[in-house]
Amino acid sequence: MTLHQNLIAGEWVGTDGVANVNPSNTNDVIGDYARASADDALAAIAAAKAAFPAWSRSGLLERHAILKKTADEILARKDELGRLLSREEGKTLAEGIGETVRAGQIFDFFAGEALRLAGEVIPSVRPNIGVEITREPVGVVGIITPWNFPIAIPAWKIAPALCYGNTVVFKPAELVPGCSWAIVDILHRAGLPKGVLNLVMGKGSVVGQAMLDSPDIQAITFTGSVGTGKRVAAASVEHNRKFQLEMGGKNPFVVLDDAELAVAVEAAVNSAFFSTGQRCTASSRLIVTEGIHDRFVAAMAERMNGLVVDDALKAGTHIGPVVDQGQLNQDTDYIAIGQQEGAKLAFGGELIARDTPGFYLQPALFTEATNQMRIAREEIFGPVAAVIRVKDYDEALAVANDTPFGLSSGIATTSLKHATHFKRNAEAGMVMVNLPTAGVDFHVPFGGRKGSSYGSREQGKYAAEFYTTVKTAYTLA
Ligand code: ADP
């Protein structure tokens, strides 16, 4: 089987490969992917450091052309790359192709941003002095990504890093190296000078840790678990480097008595179960007022009954498998915990067999849950949601905000008053009205508050805040 190697200083290197396995069918090996060592990570960091002076001064048209070419190739190959994504991560083919298109659009957006770099000229408070405020690249950026968005998250970190003139050391998640390898290959062939983008596939505890410990990385952008995020933060403070964290969520979706039932159910099912519930913006807390509660639960069960859980690549599948055995164990452990805590398992939660060996779980819905239960406080990261019954809007808002996290927050209502109040008072970085908590645009800020995120926002023009550093220059006229 072909070995997909790491890219260090413009060379494909590495001999040992690890199999990339399809969670819909564990007999299906997608390919072998090289595993980098700590020394490989150090070589990649050295290469990025050496490449920085030239790339930071590179012409804007060169950056634009490389990012545009990459966007065009990703979009032209969306079916093939989307299939690779679904095959290695387990989200459905439609979701895989949709995410691939989004990655292409992100590269296209930052190709444009390269031509829109701007600063400010401001008069000094002192006479005859001019002040210029400009943005400069930060240096070597370390990019560490999780498995749940194998192409979109690498895209939304790599594209702005390169656009603003930084060089990159990129470590994708162990479980999904395929899409990462593919976009690095595309960028490399699109003409990036050697060392500007380095790929080091491998273990977090080895490759990731070597990145955290390096004094030669000036900024680290991380998406993953709270535990690892805390390590990134501590190591980054130690090295006085910039860092940006996107971690967990325990996103609430409120359903009020005045909601349109069909709209509420559609948004709740999407929020809780699409992409197998493996989105940091997924909702696992459905907070429902008492007047609509029973109708909502009945309609949810009916809708869930119609969901097809099967091989991600099969036509007609709505929900693919869980990503691996470890995550499946976590999901089933939480389903047992919810029952022990006294919540009622109203639908699903069983392991299911399909034609091929894979990690199939029937989406689970709890009712009679309280916001104090572990299933309502801890991120499960699977197709498991709990309905929490509340009296009215005020209680719904209080319960929605009673969480250590603050990424996304949703509400289903036809009341302008409640929608407006919720948008202003939800303690989250993103708020959705009559829409799922997940599913965001690529050109506007993404991120949260409280325990979900740290640092400036990702995506859109707000990404410049992280990937550049501001300089203020004074000139005597
Ligand atoms: P998840 O539960 O999504 O796998 P992790 O935080 O374990 O969350 O993984 C997110 C990314 O962080 C992965 O690329 C992983 O390899 C990396 N990672 C894990 N441990 C470390 C570490 N000690 N230092 C740096 N990166 C790490």
In this predicted structure, what is the pLDDT of residue 138? 98
205 lines ligand 1 (CB under 6 A): yes
Residue tagged active-site, from 89, 246, 379, 465: 246
pLDDT at 462 over 90: yes
**pLDDT tens digits, one per residue of 348-370:** 999 999 999 999 999 999 999 99
Q: Is residue 7 in some structural domain?
A: yes
Q: Work out which ligand 1 atom sits closest to the CA atom of 381.
A: 2
382 lines ligand 1 (CB under 6 A): no
Q: Residues 322-343: what's their mean pLDDT? A: 98
pLDDT band, very low/low/confident/very high, at 127 (cuts 50, 70, 90):
very high
Question: What's the rounded Cα separation, in Å, for the pair 331 and 323?
Answer: 11
* Residues 225 and 279 occupy one common structural domain: no
In the reported structure, the alpha carbon of residue 272 is separated from the centroid of ligand 1 by a whole-number distance in angstroms of 24
State what percent of residues in the chain have pLDDT above 90: 99
Q: Is residue 438 in some structural domain?
A: no
Q: Is residue 131 in some structural domain?
A: yes
Domain with 286 in it = 251-433
* Residues 239 and 301 occupy one common structural domain: no
Q: Residues 300-304: what's their mean pLDDT? A: 98
In this predicted structure, what is the pLDDT of residue 381? 98
pLDDT band, very low/low/confident/very high, at 47 (cuts 50, 70, 90):
very high
In this predicted structure, what is the pLDDT of residue 294? 98
pLDDT band, very low/low/confident/very high, at 182 (cuts 50, 70, 90):
very high
Between β-strands 430-433 and 408-412, what pairing exists: parallel, antiparallel or unpaired? parallel
Give me the sign of the Cα torsion angle 172, 176, 177, 183: negative
Q: Residues 422-436: what's their mean pLDDT? A: 98
pLDDT band, very low/low/confident/very high, at 322 (cuts 50, 70, 90):
very high
pLDDT at 174 over 80: yes
Q: Is residue 209 in some structural domain?
A: yes
Could you tell me the CATH number of the domain that includes residue 334? 3.40.309.10
CA atoms within 13 A on the CB side of 399: 28
pLDDT at 203 over 80: yes
Q: Which two tokens stand for residue 200?
A: 């080091």
Measured N-to-C along each axis, helices 416-425 and 393-401 cross at an angle, to the nearest 10 degrees, of 20
Question: What's the rounded Cα separation, in Å, for the pair 213 and 235?
Answer: 7
* Residues 280 and 171 occupy one common structural domain: no
In the reported structure, the alpha carbon of residue 181 is separated from the centroid of ligand 1 by a whole-number distance in angstroms of 18
pLDDT at 2 over 90: no
* Residues 201 and 345 occupy one common structural domain: no
pLDDT band, very low/low/confident/very high, at 154 (cuts 50, 70, 90):
very high
379 lines ligand 1 (CB under 6 A): no
Q: Is residue 134 in some structural domain?
A: yes
Could you tell me the CATH number of the domain that includes residue 23? 3.40.605.10
In this predicted structure, what is the pLDDT of residue 1? 73
Q: Is residue 312 in some structural domain?
A: yes
Please tell me the pTM assigned to this model.
0.98
Q: Is residue 280 among the annotated active site residues?
A: yes
Number of domains into which the chain is organized: 2
What residues contact 129, with CB distance under 8 A and at least 6 apart?
474, 475, 476, 477
* Residues 278 and 129 occupy one common structural domain: no
* Residues 14 and 91 occupy one common structural domain: yes
* Residues 44 and 178 occupy one common structural domain: yes
Q: Is residue 397 in some structural domain?
A: yes
In this predicted structure, what is the pLDDT of residue 16? 84
Residue tagged active-site, from 88, 89, 99, 280: 280
Q: Residues 327-348: what's their mean pLDDT? A: 98
* Residues 82 and 163 occupy one common structural domain: yes
* Residues 232 and 135 occupy one common structural domain: yes
* Residues 205 and 306 occupy one common structural domain: no
Rounded to 5°, angle at Cα 243 from 461 and 449: 70
Q: Is residue 286 in some structural domain?
A: yes
State what percent of residues in the chain have pLDDT above 70: 100
- Give the CA distances from residue 84 to residues 22, 93, 251, in Å, rounded to whole numbers and listed in that order: 10, 9, 29
Question: What's the rounded Cα separation, in Å, for the pair 309 and 364?
Answer: 12
